[in-house]
Amino acid sequence: MTETEITDEQVITEILAGEKDKYALLMRKYNQRLYRITKGYLHNEAEIEDTMQDTYVKAYQNLAKFEGRSQFGTWVTKILINECLQRVKKITRKDLYENNAENSITMNITDHQNPETNALNRELKQVLEQNIESLPEKYKVVFLMREVEHMSIEETSQVLDLSIANVKIRLNRAKAMLRKSLSDLYPVREVFEFNLIRCNRIAQNVMSRI
């Protein structure tokens, strides 16, 4: 059985049996999701990574309490959202946007197109990301969950404690606030990529703390 065929529940069972190193498998699986959702609340990249690490540490510390009533991804996402909300309360609006330019998103376009095409793609992608980031938090988070991470409407409803109707309303509102021309500039699935180096750093830092 390959790593991709191992279920979260099997990994958790092995972790609780003493194989702590297996926790890195869960982190690597959910790093991209957690990063994108955290972008819905925070702008500073260092704050985002700290929040993700704190989330993983808290999830690990409470792993024995995970009863499997929901998917692990849903459970850890709810922990992340609570961490985000607590951190937002502690950070002033000035702090949230301070040095944001220095913490701009790293583009990771790896196709073999010519330099001019790659430069244009990076520019279009950045414009789309900036427009998504400009959305109000409550719409942006739903948009990232549904359109970027492709979370189901039921799971989005569960982690945000919203009715399915409200999820739909917020998503439609987010789409209305993004100009149609911008939504077609670059495949939305590619935005806010969490590159491998950062993925490794998150995993290593958390493993050193647990």
CATH number at residue 75: 1.10.1740.10
Answer yes or no: do 28 and 98 share one domain.
Answer: yes
Answer yes or no: do 183 and 205 share one domain.
Answer: no
For the chain, helix (H) and strand (E) counts, in that order, are: 11, 0
Answer yes or no: do 98 and 141 share one domain.
Answer: no
Number of domains in the chain: 2
Answer yes or no: do 94 and 197 share one domain.
Answer: yes
Answer yes or no: do 162 and 202 share one domain.
Answer: no
Domain encompassing residue 150? 115-191
Answer yes or no: do 128 and 84 share one domain.
Answer: no
HSE toward the beta carbon, residue 114, CA cutoff 13 A: 2
Q: How does pLDDT run along the chain (210 residues), one tens digit per residue?
A: 455 578 999 999 999 999 999 999 999 999 999 999 999 999 899 999 999 999 999 999 999 999 888 899 999 999 999 999 999 888 765 554 555 544 443 334 344 456 655 665 677 678 778 888 889 999 999 999 999 999 999 999 999 999 999 999 999 999 988 865 464 555 566 667 777 778 888 888 898 888
Residue 204 tokens, joined: 């290593």
Q: Which of 35, 33, 32, 30 is nearest to 11 (CA)?
A: 30
Q: Which of 25, 28, 47, 27 is nearest to 38 (CA)?
A: 47
